[in-house]
Amino acid sequence: MHILIIGAAGMVGRKITAAILADPAIGGRTVTALSLVDVTAPQAPDWPIGRVSAKAVDLGDPAAPAQLIADRPDVIIHLAAVVSGDAEMHFDKGYRVNVDGTRALLDAIRHTGRHTGDAYNPRLVFASSLAIFGPPFPNRIPDDFAPTPRTSYGIQKVIAELLINDYSRKGMIDGISLRLPTICVRPGKPNAAASGFFSGIIREPLIGQPAALPVPDTTRHWHASPRSAAGFFLHAAGMDTASLGHRRALNMPGLSATVAEQIEALRAVAGQGAVDLIRPAHDPLVADIVGGWGEDYEASRARALGFTAESNFEDIIKVHIEDELGAALPAPAAQ
């Protein structure tokens, strides 16, 4: 089985790659080849038992799609995107990559083998986002709640979902779109994303560093770990899609937690010393952006289809410690 990951150099792409290398089985089949592409070439891991390629490909390039699918990967995991802030700033660039690039990929697939009776119908797993939803929200967002994004990025993600629904309904691809929660604890350095503090207030104290909290601790948000996110894609890559019908976009499961609950979990796992490193530093701009996000989702279709995520925030922290900190708390934060 051959897997193509478009956008493989990003955090989720690297987690999926690592998970496949650790256990190269998807839906009962063995993965024997892995093609990793991104705007800049991803690192090609050592993989003695399978074939790995790593290439730089820009999905905004009209020639890219045909090149990507030339050797007919069985599963395409499509993570490539011009991200939120960039798409908001650069209108044409966002549409060119997020909409036109995705559509060109779908068209390249449907034209492959079309006239030779040798049609190509790969599983395509697309990374969408729960940022497609916009206010006003109910307290708990149902699966059939209408997407009304407040960003060009969100609009572009919904358009891609709709195309994937239509091409799948027509039997041209076998697609599924995963609307991802905020990934927490995000590894790496603090970044400028408005959602960055949700990870920062856990990640930084765990290594003895201070972290700013720009919102009230009553702020509620929807989280899943990087490990769960990789699991969503691998489950979607191997699942039976027959029951999806014409609705192939799924709200992914997660955990609804307030910042206060995050902090309590940090205290339970790493002690008061870690919690003391969180410094309230109210930022009205961040608070306003975060106030426009959903707080809780039913995600019942996805759960019924076998997608799973953490059910308490301590587990999310423990996943971070196991996967990023070598399963041990460094000395400074430990009690």
Q: Cα(298)–Cα(302) distance, rounded to whole angstroms?
A: 9
Residue 247 touches a second copy, criterion: CB under 8 A: yes
Residue 111 touches a second copy, criterion: CB under 8 A: no
167 is catalytic: no
Which amino acid is present at 108? Answer: A
Contact 296, 222 (CB under 8 A): yes
Number of neighbouring beta carbons within 10 Å of residue 249? 23
Sole binder of a second copy in the list 162, 193, 207, 289 (CB under 8 A): 162
Pairing of strands 174-180, 249-251: parallel
Sign of CA dihedral 249, 198, 222, 186: positive
Sole binder of a second copy in the list 21, 33, 119, 159 (CB under 8 A): 159
Nearer CB in complex with a second copy: 202/249: 249
Residue 134 touches a second copy, criterion: CB under 8 A: yes
Q: Cα(327)–Cα(335) distance, rounded to whole angstroms?
A: 16
Most distant CA atoms of the chain, gap in Å: 67
Residue 130 touches a second copy, criterion: CB under 8 A: no
As beta bridge partners, residue 228 has: none
Nearer CB in complex with a second copy: 29/247: 247
Least CB distance from residue 109 to a second copy, whole Å? Answer: 13
Q: Is 5 helix (H, G, I), strand (E, B) or coil?
A: strand
As beta bridge partners, residue 303 has: none
Nearer CB in complex with a second copy: 134/273: 134
* Residues between 74 and 93 that touch a second copy (CB under 8 A): 91
Place of tokens 């994303």: 193
Catalytic residue among 95, 153, 167, 297: 153
Nearer CB in complex with a second copy: 17/165: 165
The window from 66-74, 137-145, 207-215, 302-310 that contacts a second copy (CB under 8 A) reads 137-145
Counting residues that bind a second copy (by CB under 8 A) gives 22
Residue 165 touches a second copy, criterion: CB under 8 A: yes
Q: Cα(85)–Cα(156) distance, rounded to whole angstroms?
A: 13
Q: Cα(34)–Cα(73) distance, rounded to whole angstroms?
A: 9
End-to-end Cα spacing for the chain: 47
Least CB distance from residue 214 to a second copy, whole Å? Answer: 24
Residue 150 touches a second copy, criterion: CB under 8 A: yes
Nearer CB in complex with a second copy: 143/261: 143
What positions carry a catalytic annotation? 153
Residues found near a second copy in the complex (CB under 8 A): 91, 134, 143-150, 152, 155, 158-159, 162-163, 165-166, 169-170, 246-247
